[in-house]
Structure formats: structure tokens, C-alpha cells
């Protein structure tokens, strides 16, 4: 009996292709971001804002592209529209992939979920979806402020833990 592979499993089992690597070089301390947004005008604004914040950007057009990019690089930030490459936001394969990441990787990754269903900075929705913050499209004009606050809150939350891990030589 043949077991059905998911898209995540298919991408994970693909052969190595150097052209799938999102960056040839990232300078030490350089920040990277993955954009998973289908609307070109919103995506352009996200990219502009994140570049302004000194992120190197990977722009994806499909879930397969996003999964391939994450296969070869651990991003500092992922901005994901819950409807990216799907009609059912509860069946978003990028979100499913992120939910399954080992905690050691996941806690170093900031995930912003762009939604039409949840309120901006709804902590219960963020917890339920395993993301760091939620941005409702009605508040997209404040994208930069929301991202900055979310990243600052996340850094403050993990500061003591990460410092302790460094002192113990585990990072």
C-alpha cells in the first residue's frame, strides 16, 4: 500500500538543487525575511518596509517556493498571509510546516500572520496558530509599527533564555 505524500514531504524529499537556495551570502548578523503574500501591491509594500528595516528578502509565489526556501535557510522572519496559495486558511501548508518545526529552530523565527479573520495582535489567535503576531488587513497601514513591536516583544520575552543558553554554550 502506497502512502500519500504531502506537499511538505514532497519538497523535503526533493533532490538538492543549488538554485533553490534563497541566498548565496548573508553577512554575519544580517537579518532575513520570507514573504508569503499573493497580492502584488501588498507584497511590494511589505518588501519595501522590511528592506527599510535591513532585512534581506525572499519573495515567494507559491507554497512550494516557500517550502523550498525554508529547506535551505532558517529565516529571522516569515510574513505569511493565511490565504497564501490556498482558499482555505486552515489548510495553509506553510503554516503547517512552521507548526511542526523543532522548538530550537522555531523560537529563533518570528512569524507574522496576515489575516482577515483575526484582530491585530490577538495573542490567543497567535497562540492558537503558533505564530508570534497577527496583523489584520484593516491595520495594514501600521505594518511597520506592528512588526517592530512584535519583534521587540519577542526579543524581550526570550532575552534571558537566549543569554542563558549562550553562557551554557548551547547557542
Q: Which residues contact 43 (CB under 8 A, 6 or more apart)?
A: 35, 37, 59
pLDDT, residue 169, reads 87
What DSSP assignment string belongs to 3-64? PPPPHHHHHHHSPP-GGG-S-S---TT-EEEEEE---HHHHHHHHHHHHHTTEEEEE-SSHH
* Confidence grade of residue 148 (pLDDT, cut at 50, 70, 90): very high
For the stretch 113-141, pLDDT in tens is 999 999 999 999 999 999 999 999 999 99
Decide if pLDDT at 23 tops 90.
Answer: no
For the stretch 64-86, pLDDT in tens is 999 999 988 899 999 999 999 99
C-alpha cell at 118: 483575526
Amino acid at each position: 500500500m502506497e502512502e500519500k505524500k504531502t506537499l511538505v514531504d514532497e519538497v523535503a524529499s526533493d533532490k538538492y538543487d543549488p538554485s533553490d537556495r534563497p541566498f548565496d551570502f548573508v553577512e554575519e548578523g544580517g537579518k532575513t525575511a520570507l514573504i508569503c503574500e499573493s497580492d502584488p501591491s501588498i507584497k511590494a509594500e511589505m518588501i519595501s518596509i522590511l528592506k527599510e528595516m535591513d532585512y534581506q528578502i525572499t519573495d515567494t509565489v507559491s507554497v512550494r517556493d516557500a517550502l523550498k526556501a525554508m529547506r535551505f535557510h532558517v529565516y529571522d522572519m516569515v510574513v505569511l498571509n493565511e490565504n497564501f496559495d490556498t482558499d482555505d486558511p486552515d489548510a495553509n501548508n506553510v503554516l503547517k510546516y512552521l507548526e511542526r518545526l523543532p522548538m530550537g529552530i522555531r523560537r529563533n523565527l518570528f512569524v507574522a500572520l496576515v489575516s482577515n479573520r483575526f484582530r491585530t495582535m490577538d495573542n490567543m489567535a497567535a497562540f492558537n496558530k503558533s505564530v508570534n503576531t497577527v496583523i489584520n488587513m484593516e491595520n495594514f497601514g501600521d505594518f511597520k509599527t506592528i512588526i517592530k513591536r512584535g519583534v521587540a516583544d519577542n526579543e524581550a520575552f526570550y532575552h534571558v533564555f537566549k543569554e542563558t543558553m549562550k553562557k551554557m554554550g548551547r547557542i
